[in-house]
Amino acid sequence: VLQNLSQTPVLRELLKEAKMPDTTVKIDSPELFVEPQLIKLDQPGPLTLAMYQFLTEMQETKKGVVTPKELFAQVCKKAIRFKGYQQQDSHELLRYLLDGMRAEE
């Protein structure tokens, strides 16, 4: 899931813009034929910042191995079911990760 998210350019760009407090983001969807939306964002929360940091490391690191330790810690704070390193479904991680970031908006 995290590897797939790291290869999503729109997500990386939005997180890059969102990490700055009081940022206004323009969301343009020409294929949907709707007017561009301007959204003012507050200070990002800890899960959003951890996600941004992880995706940045995935893109910029030349050392080979990147561990999502801080991101996982933040996910565990939002979804206690992930504590204890028991096996979980990847779609559950994706859901809790995106829901947690959305709740921080």
For 65, the enclosing helix (H) or strand (E) is: none
Q: How confident is the model at residue 46 (pLDDT cuts 50, 70, 90)?
A: very high
CA distance 100 to 104: 7
- Model-level pTM? 0.74
> Hey, where are the domains in the chain?
1-103
Q: 70 Cβ partners below 8 Å, 6+ apart?
A: 50, 53, 54
State pLDDT tens for residues 82-93. 777 677 788 888
State pLDDT tens for residues 27-39. 776 666 778 777 7
